[in-house]
Structure 1
Amino acid sequence: MHRLRWGLTIGWLILIVSMFYDPVSAAWTMSDRLFAATTVNGCFQFQGECRPIDPYPMGARLFWGMVLPLVILTLLIFGHEAWRRICPLSFLSQIPRALGWQRKRTISETSWLGRNALSLQWSLLFIGLNLRLLLVNSDRHWLGLFLLLTIGAALTIGFLYDGKTWCNYFCPMAPVQKIYSEPSGLFGSIAHTAPPKTITQSMCRTVDKSGSEKSACVACKTGCMDIDAEGDYWNDLRKIDRKLLYYGYVGLVIGFYLYFWLYSGNWNLLSAGVWNETNQLATLLNPGFFIAGRAIAIPKLIAAPFTLTITTGLTYAIGLWAERQAKQLNQRWGNPLSVDQVQSRLFAIASFMAFNLLFFLGVRSTLGYLPAIAQQSLTWVAVAASSLWLAKTWQRSAQRYNRERDANLLRRQLTKLNIDLTQALEGRSLDELNPDELYALAKVLPGFSQDYQLQVYRGVLRDAFEQHSITARMSVTVFRPLRQKLGLSDELHWSALDQLQTQEPQLFVVERSRQTEPTLRRESDRHQDVTVYRGNAASPSRKTIDHRSNADTTVVRPLKDETSHERDRTNNSSNSSNDL
């Protein structure tokens, strides 16, 4: 993967250089060559004119018509975990860390950016697509400058912030990654059933002197997609920005390719290798629409964003309407599906539509230089991959994910108990038991007292905290279904949590290097249900920063007098969270 990252990054940088100097590729697009444009009349229709097809450098076409579709296909088939490990932009953003220049700041998830990161990334994606229509689609000099500015932004964020802050909070491709790789790619790995201390998916990692990989996660984001993409998906499923992302993206794809027709008057501007509108800056104030043989005097500068806004708004409204209809139908049928599963299936349909629209409107139309059999083969590969992905995603649900995660944690704890399970399992092993059988075993095992149950539950909590998959505040809700199966109360959860925090405070340590004391104090004031301690979590002295280390260290521990409000709130909401 390291070599592949280097190879892709070097190739991308060479492609960017070709945007400014390319004495070679224009010859490949001459009339008798492989990538030559082919039309019936030897010209292409543009706003009522038949313009000649001239040879052109292929840098822009290679990037938009070949590289980017391959990235999207990679996301759908192998998931975000494969792409994020080889993404050149992610790789370049980590250069400051490799050189030891990276500052150790992280973004608070209670800040505006922490709460609105996806909305910001969606806005950047929207702006980027408008820039492509207006400036950088076929004008290779502007495209080269655009890519260099993007690399500069990634390097700047990588210098200012720790971890994968660029990927999680700023990258405009992050919404596309979510759409095509959530809850999992077609061949994506399963993180929530991985063994303890496993470096899952695309989480930050480093290689020690012995050549072994080690986690380098700095907890720059709770519920990180790089640690467990499906867990992050179910956790954020109901957020309103997710609906805009999935439903609106379909309209964004439609509007983007529709605009080429509205602008030129025909569908052939992108097909057959027509990429020779080389001075897009000069066309910004030209008529932006050509409909029914007439130019409409709306500048292209306004027409392009107007088109994308209308189509995005329409599909977003249609998606919300379809969602209401689907949920009402589910209720009339007696709620065979949970609310989350209905929502997830609608998102999956939106992703399936977006992928195939993008392929057939954009990619398929630029493959005219290939033999017919190659075009058909690529078409069938895209349809088959997206269909298989839809079938896989269709079966997933938050309940199934939770059962698999809890059963995996429960199985590991049962193996640690000093109990002979041979007779109870009748020759089967714990690995052969399904989640429901594991729950039943843990609850009714002969001689399995509440002390054993609490020991198992405490081990489950420990493994979850060790994997950085939850926080102390999240744990009471996340593991409520497991407690119900084991017959444990919420009070016993708090008891187990207090005992864990006393015995193993390092599980709750969050390092925030170079963060100031006033910042930590403000965060402590905002979260009244947590107290910041110095050193040992059981110490009665309240402090903000542990000055014994170079990194600022906080230990978060819910106390009985400070978490009563949180406990009451979670207990009161238990009836409304059965689908978690």
Structure 2
Amino acid sequence: MAVASPRPPATPTRASLPVVVQTSVEADAEWWVEPVKWVALAVFIIVPIFALLVQPLAGRVVWTIVVAALPLFIVLVGYHRWRRICPLAFFAQIPVRLRRPGTRKASDWLEHNYYYVAFTVFFVSLWLRLIATNGDGLSIATFFVLITLAALIFGALFTGKTWCNYICPLSFIEKIYTEPHGLRETNNSQCTKCTACKKSCPDINEENGYWKEIESRAKRFVYFAFPGLIFGFYFYYYMQSGTWSYYFGGSWTHEPGMIWRAFLPGSDAQTAGFFFLPVVPRAIASLLTLAACGMASYLLFGILERYVGVWLKRRDAETDAARVRHVMFTLAAFTAFLTFYTFAGAPTLWRLPWVFPHLFLIAVALTATLFLTRRLSRRQKEFAEETLGRSIIKRWAWTDMQPPKDLHEAFLIHTIRAKESARGEAHVLEAYKDAVRETVDNGFVTREEVQLLESLRNQLHIKKADHEKVMSALAEEERALISDPTKQISAEKRLQLETYARALERYLQRGLGAEGGPDDSFIQQLRDEYRVTKDEHAAVLDDLMGGEQGMASRVGEEISLIERAAQTIQALERKPAPTNDFLAELLRRRRARSIDRLMRGLSFTLEDEAKHDLRKGLSSSNDAERESVIESLRAIVPPAVAERILAAYRESISLKATLPTLTDMLYARTRSVDPFVRAVALYALCERDAVDTELLSRMMQDEHELVRETARIVIERAMSVEARGTTALPLGTVEKMIALRGAPVFSRLAPEHLVELARASREDFYDTDESLCVEGESGNEVFILLSGEVSILRRDDEGEDRLVGTEGVGTLIGEMAVLDPSPRAATVIATAGGVRVLRLNGEAFREALEDDPAIASGVIRTLAQRLRAVT
């Protein structure tokens, strides 16, 4: 229902809007950042005044002291602290402080090419130094004033930190020297009111942005060209004069009026462009030197990347392109840092007593070595694990002690404490699920990366099957919330809407109790400040006011899923086959989960009998019965929800006509959020010879290993038929799952456990009269018959083998010797034509027996049948 925006108790002002504040602990830990920020701002303001008033010292102080110290300062204090200290950032944020922030957002072109833009601004700034601002106080003052005005104008026109992220010439330099993370962990530098001005915002999480952009061509160009550009800048002093004394002597720091001569042909040592070709204007000569050195550096590091990649892959076969690129970025940053401090500050530093320059260079070398070793050892997988680990620690359940800072120690304590509780395992899984959900939703880790966090799962003692269940549940949550714009968003958009929701909530808390009509202008003002759209505002307001609309949408999604599953199940049941039966069972499980969520979402208060009837009706394969149950919901749920349910049901019915055949339905199921459904649907299409190139290409890019493996097998089968006219290749995991499910013992096993058994088994063939197992021998394997028959022989009192029975396809053999460490009770041999079996390791079978009571009951039934047969 629509909710009016209430008027606040007093006339609203922008100053009354709530803000996000740091905790007292965080503020105490970084108390010095704010004073340093004001000192830096004062220095920045004084620089142009000083340059105008003290011309002889302007260039020396500005370039060999203030600017020369800047990279080292950034590395030591860290990226986020520098972002809060930076004077240019202060000027860019003045419109925000005046409550008149910009509203434009950076274009898609700028989003993809901002590295080139910032690099160009920096390139031009270096060029201006060589032709104007090095030793001219007026030029220095003009440059500082113009770049300050640029930051201010961008802050007034564009939202958030557009200047800092996209334009500022320091934006990529501060990243190069601190990515993927600094020498110390620091609080982030996110805006108080996030407007989602940049994807993978470095102010929220610098390392996340680094790994997201690791394969960016623009980032690669800037990283690789930067060391050469730095060298080219200092090398030009030699190219202009023919001697290094021109730079190290510092005469360049006092050259007023250089700009007026820079574009004229040179005539002497002072006006020459190159010492060996004086006639070339200084502006052209310096431009060529910078461009040539930058391009040479780019090409050199590009060539080196290939050789480094080969060397890394020789040492570690699992090295991927992102790892190689990370190593190269680290080497480029290290080279640029050392190159810069080989020259920077030297004209002034070497005028001091010898101890000072030597101590300074030692500090530079130590800092460079520290960030080199820290960066080289960093891996994307570690970032993903730490991000997930922090989310787990946030859910620390043990109130008698604080979570340790060391992540590994936290895992150990968490695991030990969990074992002390009867509900420990469930608690660990719930914490793991919440942590994965938060980390993936925030965009710090992708679903593919979570699949790879094996070491983290091992530390938490989370089984692969449990991990699969968690990922499946999260995938269904993702589908259920697909229509909610506050959920399918990036970390930056999430922060934007969360801060907006807090501001709106405080306003509502004040305003709902006040008299008077609604003040929509205040809400509009609030939306403008946070750059929130009408739909996003409606979603946030809906959530704050109880979420009825959101609930209606989610309920409608569940109804649609139930109906789609029912239609496919009916089609599969009309064409019985092992693969179709397995897919139908998977869809029944999905439908049952949807019904559970539907009933929880509607908060039913029905009697048990009524709940049973409702569940039975929704699970029915009869269209009329399902429609009748859905109609009956109108008397139970709110009208808005009822209308959404009926609309979703009618839409599903209308879509039924667009999927007239089983093949069409199978294609639709390949887009299911359940990876098991996707994989089996693909295999079913393969059996029907209905797989096309587009489908295989999409499935090969799937996030789940099982789906990708199935797609590979389908391709290999097709190639085998073309090459040899046969499809006789080893069974894939999906085929093993179908075969295992054919055994009555495993028929009720959940797919998460079934896939583990399939991966632990291997296919084998036994010729006629060949023994699978021999009476009296020890054994640690069970066999599932895939084709053929076996004879069961037992030795009688006279030592002769006597036939006691035969077993066919789907039979489980050898389980007694695995469950009870005793010799085999019978000999099993293949009959005429041989048998094809799956051999399952005994340990895997015992684990499955412990995890799933369905297997235990199946084994008991099998043993009982055999006892009856013997007697």
Where on the TM-score scale, by shorter chain, does this alignment land: which range?
0.7 to 0.9
Q: 1:117 to 1:231 in 2, by over 3 A?
A: same
CA-CA distance at 1:359 after TM superposition: 0.9
Q: State the distance in 2 between where 1:303 and 1:369 align.
A: 30
Contact 1:270 1:366 in 2 (8 A): no
Question: Which residue, 51, 61, 64 being the options, matches 1:19?
Answer: 51
Report the secondary structure of 1:102's partner residue: coil
Contact 1:77 1:389 in 2 (8 A): no
Query: After superposition, where does 1:548-559 map in structure 2 within 5 Å?
Result: none
CA-CA distance at 1:243 after TM superposition: 1.6
Q: State the distance in 1 between where 2:50 and 2:699 align.
A: 58
Match of 1:112 in 2: 109
Query: After superposition, where does 1:435-514 map in structure 2 within 5 Å?
Result: 455-461=430-436, 463-464=438-439, 469-470=442-443, 475-482=446-453, 485=457, 486=462, 487-488=467-468, 490-498=471-479, 510-511=496-497, 513-514=527-528
Q: 1:132 to 1:572 in 2, by over 3 A?
A: same
Post-superposition Cα deviations, 1:203-249, rounded to whole Å, max 9, x if no partner, equal 224xxxxxxxxxx3333223221122222212211211222122100
Question: Which residue, 197, 204, 208 being the options, matches 1:231?
Answer: 208
Q: Name which of structure 1's ranges 220-229 and 172-181 shifts more when overlaid on structure 2.
A: 220-229
Report the secondary structure of 1:488's partner residue: helix
Report the secondary structure of 2:190's partner residue: coil
Query: After superposition, where does 1:84-103 map in structure 2 within 5 Å?
Result: 84-103=83-102
Query: After superposition, where does 1:202-351 map in structure 2 within 5 Å?
Result: 202-205=189-192, 216-274=193-251, 275-284=253-262, 285-287=264-266, 294-335=276-317, 337-351=319-333
Match of 2:731 in 1: none
Match of 2:337 in 1: 355
Q: State the distance in 2 between where 1:118 and 1:456 align.
A: 39
Q: State the distance in 1 between where 2:179 and 2:316 align.
A: 28
CA-CA distance at 1:77 after TM superposition: 1.7
Q: State the distance in 1 between where 2:37 and 2:343 align.
A: 30
Contact 2:386 2:407 in 1 (8 A): no
Post-superposition Cα deviations, 1:517-542, rounded to whole Å, max 9, x if no partner, equal 9x979x99xxxxxx999845445499
Amino acid at match of 1:204: C
Query: After superposition, where does 1:89-168 map in structure 2 within 5 Å?
Result: 89-107=88-106, 111-168=108-165
Q: State the distance in 1 between where 2:144 and 2:670 align.
A: 49
Post-superposition Cα deviations, 1:247-303, rounded to whole Å, max 9, x if no partner, equal 100100111000111112211223233122211112222337666x64342222211
Match of 2:188 in 1: 201
Contact 2:265 2:272 in 1 (8 A): no
Question: Which residue, 162, 171, 174 being the options, matches 2:171?
Answer: 174
Contact 2:57 2:254 in 1 (8 A): no
**1:572 correspondence with 2:714:** no
Report the secondary structure of 2:182's partner residue: coil
Unpaired runs of 5+ residues, structure 2, are 1-32, 501-526, 543-548, 557-651, 653-667, 679-697, 706-871
Taking only aligned residues, the RMSD between alpha carbons, in angstroms, comes to 4.2
Match of 1:194 in 2: none
Q: Which has the higher contact order (CA 8 A, sep 6+)?
A: 1
Post-superposition Cα deviations, 1:191-213, rounded to whole Å, max 9, x if no partner, equal xxxxxxxxx322224xxxxxxxx
Contact 2:101 2:159 in 1 (8 A): yes
**1:383 correspondence with 2:365:** yes
Q: State the distance in 1 between where 2:452 and 2:417 align.
A: 14
Q: State the distance in 1 between where 2:151 and 2:286 align.
A: 27
Amino acid at match of 1:257: Y
Question: Which of these two proteins has the greater Rg computed from alpha carbons?
Answer: 2
Amino acid at match of 1:405: T
Q: State the distance in 2 between where 1:442 and 1:537 align.
A: 38
Contact 2:68 2:344 in 1 (8 A): no
Contact 1:158 1:166 in 2 (8 A): yes
Q: State the distance in 2 between where 1:172 and 1:430 align.
A: 36
Post-superposition Cα deviations, 1:306-334, rounded to whole Å, max 9, x if no partner, equal 11111111111110111100111222334
Q: State the distance in 1 between where 2:452 and 2:416 align.
A: 16
Match of 1:38 in 2: none
Q: Name which of structure 1's ranges 123-132 and 335-344 shifts more when overlaid on structure 2.
A: 335-344
Report the secondary structure of 1:369's partner residue: coil
User: Aligned pairs, how many?
Assistant: 483
CA-CA distance at 1:434 after TM superposition: 5.3
Q: 1:326 to 1:475 in 2, by over 3 A?
A: closer
Amino acid at match of 2:61: L
Q: 1:507 to 1:217 in 2, by over 3 A?
A: farther
Question: Which residue, 343, 355, 366 being the options, matches 2:348?
Answer: 366
Query: After superposition, where does 1:29-68 map in structure 2 within 5 Å?
Result: 56-68=55-67
Q: TM-score, normalised by structure 2?
A: 0.49
Q: State the distance in 2 between where 1:496 and 1:386 align.
A: 46
**1:5 correspondence with 2:20:** no
Q: State the distance in 2 between where 1:189 and 1:141 align.
A: 41
Q: State the distance in 1 between where 2:419 and 2:472 align.
A: 21
Amino acid at match of 1:492: A
Report the secondary structure of 1:343's partner residue: helix
Q: Name which of structure 1's ranges 342-351 and 243-252 shifts more when overlaid on structure 2.
A: 342-351
Report the secondary structure of 1:184's partner residue: coil
Percent same amino acid among aligned pairs?
Answer: 23
Match of 1:548 in 2: none
CA-CA distance at 1:506 after TM superposition: 7.5
Amino acid at match of 2:386: E
CA-CA distance at 1:398 after TM superposition: 0.8
Match of 1:401 in 2: 383
Contact 2:135 2:256 in 1 (8 A): yes
